[in-house]
Structure 1
Amino acid sequence: MQIFKLVTILLLCFLCQTTYSQNNTKSQNYTYKEGDYSGIGKWYMDREIAYVMGYQGIGWLERPEREAEENTIKLIKNLDIQPTDVIADIGAGSGYHVFKMAYIAKKGKVYAVDIQQEMLDAITIENKKQQLKNIVLVKGSEKNTSLPENKIDKILMVDVYHEFSFPIEMLVSMKKALKKDGKIYLIEYRGEDDNVPMKRLHKMTEKQAIKEFEASGFKLLKNISNLPWQHCMVFIKS
């Protein structure tokens, strides 16, 4: 079953692929060269960037076994959401976490950010049933979250950062959007653990995450290690 899921993810990623030069070239921040078939041929700080999962993968995002595999109830508790929090879910997908957070931050706001309009449309359709007034849809880009500056208390990224084509630019955008004491909750499958049944490029180690975030002016506050397969790394501004 897990093998089937991994094959499905890779096929969906290729549906949303971007073409990059396969020559061994290097820009100021990124390197382009041949790599893993599930990567885009673009590297940042010795990490190859993975393909983005297309909107065709909504069924996988909403799979019934996700709670058992990821313990999303515990993940949401890790965020310590307050009723007035302003939260951004970057790479919100179909809104799996958005709706859970919006019910808690009932006096605040949850920005659902995604670069695929089809994902935002799926949230709109679901919210016609749930009728939550504190969800704001945001069409981001590969380089910009399109969030308002200095307004966000908490940013959540669940298994999406490793797919950013421009991680430097995205972290700059997030840093601007965060309040002075704002936090980023980076959720990634543990790259250190071979037992986590995900492809290598769809996992990250704590060491790699720290290296990339420190380069963009963040520091690791803590890594909450209570999830079955994922890191829950909390970053703040340096």
Structure 2
Amino acid sequence: MEKSLKTYQFKSGETIASIGASGGVWEIYFASQVDNLTFYLQDIDADLCNEQEINEGILFYEKMMKKPINGKFISVIGTEHSSLLPKNTFDKVLIINSFHEFLFPHEMIKDGYEILKSEGLLFIEEQLATYSGEIHEGCLKPLFLESALIELVEKCGFVLNETVDKGNNVKIFCFRKR
């Protein structure tokens, strides 16, 4: 998580969307490290992304860190085609280990483009395939080859800004609007 935190370079006061966030475990941790962040935690599964799950995560990190978390967390249930998040709102959009699970990745990246502010950044943190057709061990969905992931996102109006290698075939891609 530390390498991710360093890469995302959160600043106090930012508004961040996390698509495919479940209960926001990563995002709550980030808010424990940087004050005054607002996270919109978006998912399509209301059993995973809800106020109770988020509150349990907050309590866990407050206990572990021995300090209150002053971030704000808003859960949003979207669809397979749309995040249902407000347009032109976010400083950063995060997709952490969920891009390979999207049934309509092209539509979701276009959605990400629309919800970002003009100078906003899209971060995709993803395990990559080492060969075509490789399957993710956890969810049994196909992983993206690095070149295919970049090509898809760039076709949606983004430009690759930076790539950070986390090891174990996991990379963080930072894109900006063209």
TM over 0.5: yes
- Determine which structure has more spread, i.e. the larger CA radius of gyration: 1
- 2:156 maps to a residue whose letter is S
Does the residue aligned with 2:57 lie in a helix, a strand or coil? Answer: helix
Instruction: Name the structure, 1 or 2, with higher relative contact order (CA <8 Å, separation 6+).
Output: 2
AA of the residue aligned to 2:21: A
1:123 correspondence with 2:61: no
Map residues 79-228 of structure 1 onto 2, 5 A cutoff: 79-121=8-50, 122-127=53-58, 130=62, 132=70, 134-192=72-130, 198-199=136-137, 201-228=141-168
Task: Work out the CA distance in 2 between the residues paired with 1:141 and 1:214.
Answer: 23
Q: CA deviation at 1:91?
A: 0.5
Take 1:81 and 1:150, find their aligned partners in 2: how far apart are those partners? 18
- Give the C-alpha shift of residue 152 in structure 1: 0.5
2:6 corresponds to which of 74, 77, 80: 77
Task: State the superposition RMSD in angstroms.
Answer: 2.4
Give, in whole Å, the separation in 1 of the partners of 2:30 and 2:71: 13
Residues 147 and 92 from structure 1, CA distance in 2 versus in 1: closer, same or farther, beyond 3 angstroms?
Answer: same
CA distance in 2, matches of 1:106, 1:139: 25
Please state whether the residue corresponding to 1:142 is helix, strand or coil: coil
Instruction: Tell me whether 1:229 sits opposite 2:169 in the alignment.
Output: yes
Alignment check: 8 A CA contact 1:84 1:105 kept: no
Q: CA separation of 1:144/1:167 partners in 2, compared to 1, >3 Å: closer, same or farther?
A: same
Number of residue pairs aligned between Structure 1 and Structure 2 = 166
Whichever residue aligns with residue 123 of structure 1, its letter is I
Is the alpha carbon distance of 1:206 and 1:120 closer, same or farther for their aligned partners in structure 2, counting shifts above 3 Å?
same
Note the C-alpha offset of 1:235.
Answer: 1.0
In 2: Cα distance, 1:112 partner to 1:192 partner: 30
